[in-house]
């Protein structure tokens, strides 16, 4: 009985570690876009359901007020006698229900092709925006050169105007002193 308890405890711990490993792999697959967000959410729900059922198994193992025979039969039957669903029977989505391995692979390829087409379209849009941005930048550079030229012309004209104003004042002063 002690060996069985140790084996069960070890199996539950191993199950927990594998569920965590599944969760990490799923997060990586979603973040690297190996699967769609929708599929990632569906799989996350399945992993969450596994975690819930793992907790149910642990609770049954700890006998939480149950007789040992009932606990064992609940574990073996997936809790069916207490109205708890079998932890190993996970519900499959409508999209994949009844599909074989090759059909699932084709569906996944189709999804990836759709994503690739979307990414290609996005890439062309971004390329056009980049080109427009470069053209706007070139136009701004030309406008800045024109503004710099105008600024120099205004400064030169202002300088000449001041010089001419001083010259007129000197001529006016000389004309009033002479006349």
pLDDT per position as a tens digit, 162-172? 999 999 988 88
Contact 51, 19 (CB under 8 A): yes
Residue ranges of the domains in the chain? 1-66+108-177
Angle of the 2-31 helix axis to the 37-61 helix axis, nearest 10:
170
pTM of the model: 0.36
Residues 6 or more apart whose CB falls under 8 angstroms from that of 115 comprise 33, 36
64-100 residue pLDDT tens: 434 444 445 444 544 444 445 555 555 666 676 666 7
57 C-beta neighbours (distance < 10 Å), count: 21
Distance of alpha carbon 43 from alpha carbon 22, whole angstroms: 10
Percent of the chain with pLDDT over 70: 78
Distance of alpha carbon 77 from alpha carbon 62, whole angstroms: 17
Nearest Cα neighbor of 64 from 45, 87, 84, 39 is 84
Angle of the 68-77 helix axis to the 37-61 helix axis, nearest 10:
160
Tokens representing 3 are 């060996």
Tokens representing 71 are 């606990």
């Amino acid at each position: 009985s002690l060996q069985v308890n140790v084996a069960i405890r070890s199996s539950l711990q191993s199950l927990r570690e594998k569920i965590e490993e599944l969760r990490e792999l799923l997060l990586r697959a979603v973040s690297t876009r190996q699967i769609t967000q929708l599929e990632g959410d569906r799989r996350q729900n399945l992993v969450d359901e596994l975690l819930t059922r793992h907790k149910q198994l642990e609770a049954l193992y700890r006998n939480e007020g149950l007789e040992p025979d009932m606990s064992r039969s609940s574990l073996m039957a997936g809790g069916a006698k207490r109205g708890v669903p079998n932890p190993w029977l996970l519900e499959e989505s409508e999209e994949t229900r009844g599909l074989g391995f090759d059909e699932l692979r084709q569906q996944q390829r189709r999804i990836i092709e759709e994503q690739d087409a979307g990414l290609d379209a996005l890439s062309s849009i971004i390329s056009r925006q980049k080109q427009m941005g470069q053209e706007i930048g070139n136009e701004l550079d030309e406008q800045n050169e024109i503004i710099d030229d105008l600024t120099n012309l205004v400064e030169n004209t202002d300088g000449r105007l001041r010089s001419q104003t001083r010259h007129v004042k000197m001529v006016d002063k000389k004309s009033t002193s002479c006349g």
